[in-house]
A and B are shown apart, each in its own frame.
Chain A
């Protein structure tokens, strides 16, 4: 399969008010590949991920510099002239903490479609079922689609959020530690899903589990204190890192 760029981060700097968190990140995101972001807690992984769907625009103290080009049209999605709504409709996100709406399971998964004005009931039902299947929640949820999502367990809620993000078929899917609240079986299911989804979507995943990163990702970016230290093919990063700091991190000597 040939390798195409799907997005490209260029000299991205980011600060929360005075506090600088990303110091010029340059990073390619390849089409139909899984890119893992790893690094010690607080190094800026979530911050970087949230730049991709303009989540920071909701807060006044966020300041960007640099660009993220979305291929194939090479538009800078951080540009002031681009409506964040358009970016968010094309790039889906699953957050670090599950955040279902206090509505029914069905309404949660169908929400993206509702926002887009989809009215056709059969289409919505079909999509909801497929997304829940993909996220591995269908079996548990199919008999209680109309009960409140907040009554689900933490892990179920996280899978619900994954289903919600999948329902609109995003071009890029951002996953912020999607399995941190899941048991091993659900985790394996999500990892298989990620492998499955690669055919259709481009995925960027933050994870603290190096095993997971090694299992699911094609490329890995190691971040440290707001800098991108090393980027490369995952098998190379985990077996033969070039940078001393990367090696220290993956061998567990810090972080």
Chain B
């Protein structure tokens, strides 16, 4: 029999370790948070005053005060659209295939392992591959299309993995209910699997795009220009068929490259421009991630089984 005192001493000892662990955790959290906040505050103090309407509507220039990010944000926007167009259908289709169609055996295990590995490959490797494949072999040039395809490949594993996770969250009972009504596989996917997992899939898409928008290395590798003082061809034309895809083949720059370009100049005024671009990039990433969190919580509320 333990005496009351023994029990109390025992509790005290364990409470002490509880406390030690909580304190360590809190310190680590504070360390990470403070570093991040310092970074953001520092960047904002330098950059925010520079963010005016003119900054968005001017091309880069030899004069830091007149330079803007027009070609950079238009470039980022075009590349993101191309990336989304390439990666979303491929990633979602691959995820649905792996979850709903493929047999669960060693082949699928190897594929699964490789997809996870792909997500961890340094992004510059994708740039090298794209340089060889898209630029030299397929002769797509140093274009928006090449950039979109490259970043599309880069984020493909993220989209596949999040699609699979979203699909796996659907209980089997729902599939059984659908099949029991005589639905085909495709009907089950079309009427149930895709709608019920769309929240999770969209979250994954947004997170992957917010990763792609900050990517620099692979785009420099494929030869994105660092100084562009014109816009891509307009996507709409006044002659039928009114839609013009020439912009896909135009050269481009993107915001992180523009930022890199300005940072590498000696004059401090250009560094202010870089900080301002950094703030804008940061804001966009925050907004996208916030949107992803919002979507996730909304769908979680709607989809209870």
Contact = CB atoms under 8 A, between A and B. Distances in A.
Interface residues of B, number: 23
B167 to A, nearest CB: 14
Interface stretch (B77-85, B172-180, B274-282): B172-180
A55 B174 contact: no
A92 B182 CA distance: 9
Given A58-B176, A101-B192, A112 B103 contact: no
Contacts of A116: 182
Given A99-B174, A101-B177, A115-B187, A168 B182 contact: yes
A253 to B, nearest CB: 34
A114 B229 CA distance: 55
Given A60-B103, A115-B183, A101 B304 contact: no
B265 interface: no
Contacts of B175: 58
Interface residues of A, number: 27
B242 interface: no
Contact of B182 (A55, A58, A115): A115
A61 B179 CA distance: 18
B107 interface: no
A58 B181 contact: no
B296 to A, nearest CB: 16
Most interface-central of B103, B104, B180, B183 (chain A CB within 10 A) = B180
A45 interface: no
Contact of A101 (B174, B179, B182, B302): B174
A95 B181 contact: no
A99 B176 contact: yes
A89 B173 contact: no
B196 interface: yes
A165 B171 CA distance: 19
A112 B181 contact: yes
B111 interface: no
A95 B192 CA distance: 18
A102 interface: yes
Given A95-B173, A102-B196, A115-B187, A88 B180 contact: yes
26 contacts: A53-B180, A55-B176, A55-B179, A55-B180, A84-B179, A85-B184, A88-B179, A88-B181, A92-B180, A92-B181, A95-B173, A95-B177, A97-B173, A99-B171, A99-B176, A100-B177, A102-B174, A102-B196, A102-B304, A112-B182, A115-B181, A150-B304, A150-B305, A161-B177, A165-B180, A168-B182
The 7 closest A-B pairs by CB, nearest first: A89-B182, A99-B173, A99-B177, A112-B181, A88-B182, A115-B183, A93-B180
